[in-house]
Amino acid sequence: MSDVLLSAKNLSVRFGGVLAVNNVSFDVRRGEVFTLIGPNGAGKTTVFNLISRIYAPTTGSLEYEGRDLTRQAPHHIARLGIARTFQNIELFEHATVLHNLLIGRHTHRQTGLWSELFFTPAARRAEIKAREQVERVIELLDLQHHRDALVAGLPYGVRKVVELARALCTEPQLLLLDEPSSGLNVEETEDMAFWIQDIQHELGITVLMVEHDMTLVSKVSDRVLAMNQGEVLATGTPREVQTHPGVVEAYLGTVDEVSDLRRAAA
């Protein structure tokens, strides 16, 4: 449990005059569920975008299994075993669920252009193999009913699951989930919690997630990191972080402000 999979050291990123992430350091240990929490605009998604190389950090380092992530090309991140979902869902809208998941198998392709143009027996075997892997994920996440449906026609809750499924199809070691429960109802959120636990325990995948729903966070996270305005407030177990005075202040304001509000209400 203790060996470190992903390690961020003094990570900072500046967009013009805005310091979106300021001197953030954390370690994600192999096999754990590590959650980033914090108010809107705290820089959580920016940290994700730094890991998936959509942005480059201004200073600081990101190490994944001892490799410097900031030197990798963006499309190489998936090959290293890092998959992600997006806060606002970035699926391939005009393709079926099955095709979306098959695109998730892209890093595992074994065929070249020419064998695909002629669809040689090798290409056919590779296609069948990809489908076998995809079916396992469909089974795990109960997507059988939607297999051949176009993503454009699916309800929001299902799209969220399809995106998770697509990330799992890459067979990642580290899964980045950007607000997995946003827009889901209570029941769907509970399903999501079970799936995250399954992913952690049965598939042995390390999960790094951004989440606002504290029930879900306390249920599945091993460790939590709270951020505010680009800086780290606290790190620890969900309970420790929730009771940390700095975190309470970031969410609710200072004790004085809260008591002022109470008085004003009374």
Partner 1 sequence: MRFIFKTDYDQDIRLAKHGGQVFWYSLLMALLLAAPWLFAEYWLAQLTFVLIYAIVGLGLMLLAGFTGLFSIGHAAFLGVGAYTEAVLVNAGWPFPVSLVMAAGLSAAVGVIVGLPALRVKGIYLGIATLSFGFIVEEVLARWESVTGGNAGISVKKPGLFGWTIDSGTGFYFLCLAVAVAATLAILNLLRSPTGRAFVAIRDSEISAQSMGIHLARYKTLSFALSAAFAGVGGALYAHKLTFISPDQFNILQSIDLLLMVVIGGLGSVHGAFLGAIFLISMPQFIALSKDWLPPAIGQAPGLQGVVYGVVLIAFVLFEPLGLYGRWLKMRTYLQLFPFYRRGMFKRQKSFQRSDRLR
Nearer to partner 1, 51 or 196 (CB): 51
How near is the Cβ of 207 to partner 1 at its closest, in Å?
16
Tokens linked to 203:
């598939």
Residue 153: CB minimum distance to partner 1, A: 6
Asked if 127 and 198 touch (Cβ cutoff 8 Å), the reply is no
Q: Which stretch binds partner 1 (CB under 8 A): 5-13, 128-136, 240-248, 249-257?
A: 128-136
Stretch that binds partner 1, among 35-43, 126-134, 216-224, 252-260 (CB under 8 A): 126-134
Whole-angstrom distance, CA of residue 151 vs CA of residue 110: 26
β-bridge mates for residue 213, sequence order: none
Among 10, 74, 239, 257, binds partner 1 (CB under 8 A): 74
Q: Would you say 56 or 258 has its CB closer to partner 1?
A: 56
**Minimum gap (Å) between residue 116 Cβ and partner 1:** 4
173 and 161 Cβ atoms separated by less than 8 Å:
no
Q: Which is nearer to partner 1, 21 or 126 (CB)?
A: 126
**What H or E segment, with its residue span, contains residue 13?**
strand 4-15
Beta bridge pairs of residue 7: 27, 63
Strand order across the beta sheet in which 223-228 lies: 82-84, 174-178, 206-210, 33-37, 223-228, 231-236
For residue 241, the minimal CB distance to partner 1 (Å) is: 27
Please, which of residues 87-106 interact with partner 1 by CB under 8 A? Answer: 87-95, 98-99, 102-106
Cα(150)–Cα(25) distance, integer angstroms: 41
Label residue 222 exposed, middle or buried (CB < 10 Å: 0-12, 13-18, 19+): middle
Kindly state whether residue 212 participates in binding partner 1, applying the rule CB under 8 A.
no
Exposed / middle / buried, residue 28 (Cβ in 10 Å: 0-12, 13-18, 19+): buried
Q: Which of 2, 17, 40, 113 binds partner 1 (CB under 8 A)?
A: 113
Q: Of the two residues 2 and 88, which places its CB atom closer to partner 1 in the complex? A: 88
- Site size toward partner 1 (CB under 8 A) is 51
3-class DSSP state for residue 255?
helix
Closer residue to partner 1 in complex, CB, 118/202: 118
Distance CA 156, CA 173 (A): 26
Q: Residue 86 or 251: which CB sits closer to partner 1?
A: 86
159 binds partner 1, rule: CB under 8 A: yes
Contact residues toward partner 1 (CB under 8 A) are 49, 52, 54, 73-79, 83-84, 86-95, 98-99, 102-107, 109, 111, 113, 116-119, 123-124, 126-128, 130-132, 152-153, 156, 159, 166, 170
